[in-house]
Every structure is written in structure tokens, then in C-alpha cells.
Amino acid sequence: MNARTEWIVRMAELEIDPARIEAYTALLAEEVETSVAKEPGVLMLHAVSVNGNPERIRILEVYASQQDYEAHLQSPHFLKYKTLTGGMVKSLDLVEVDPIVMCAK
């Protein structure tokens, strides 16, 4: 997959309430899997947590276009995730990034 100029790429950095990590990651996994399966414009969502700090989560997000990103924000599975996880997220920082090279098997 060669990075294209119209792609929207960013990295979300979240801090989760330590008491709610298990519930949060279950909702996140469901939202990620549904988005990539159902939305043609959601190209990848890779979520990781920092080793030894499971409350610190980073998500690399790639959308095919601005229009696809905006459609994603209105999708029922994203709205469900946002609503149900709202009280679990202590902070959310969205880092806009530019792809240099993105390669995967």
C-alpha cells in the first residue's frame, strides 16, 4: 500500500482511567474491527498500549480521504464507541501526521 497524498493519517494518544482499561479496550477493539470491515475508506487502525503503562494508548489511523474520515465520524459503530467510552477517557491528543512510507504484508 503506497501512501497517497489524499490520505488522512493521524495518531491518537489517549490516557484511560486505569480502573476501566478492560472495558475500554473491548469497546475499542469492536469499533476498530467494525470500521475496517464495513467502511471502504477506513484503511487501517492500529491500536497499541505502552508496555508497563496499559492506560497509555496510541492509535495509528489511516483514512482514504477527508470525506471518508468525516463519514467514519458519523458511523453508528463510531458513535456507539464515543458514547460508551466518553467517561473512560481521561485525555485525548490527536497528532496530525504525514505518511513517509507505509509497508505491510
Q: Interface with a copy of itself by CB under 8 A: which residues?
A: 1, 9, 11, 25, 28-29, 32-33, 35-37, 43-52, 54, 57-58, 60, 95-105
Closer to a copy of itself at the Cβ: 35 or 85?
A: 35
Query: Among 91, 88, 69, which residue's Cα sits nearest to residue 26?
Result: 88
E strand intervals along 17-72: 42-50, 53-63
Report, in Å, the least distance between residue 87 CB and a copy of itself: 19
Q: Which is closer to a copy of itself, CB of 43 or CB of 88? A: 43
Q: How far is 2 from 74, CA to CA, in rounded Å? A: 27
Residue among 86 and 104 whose Cβ is closer to a copy of itself = 104
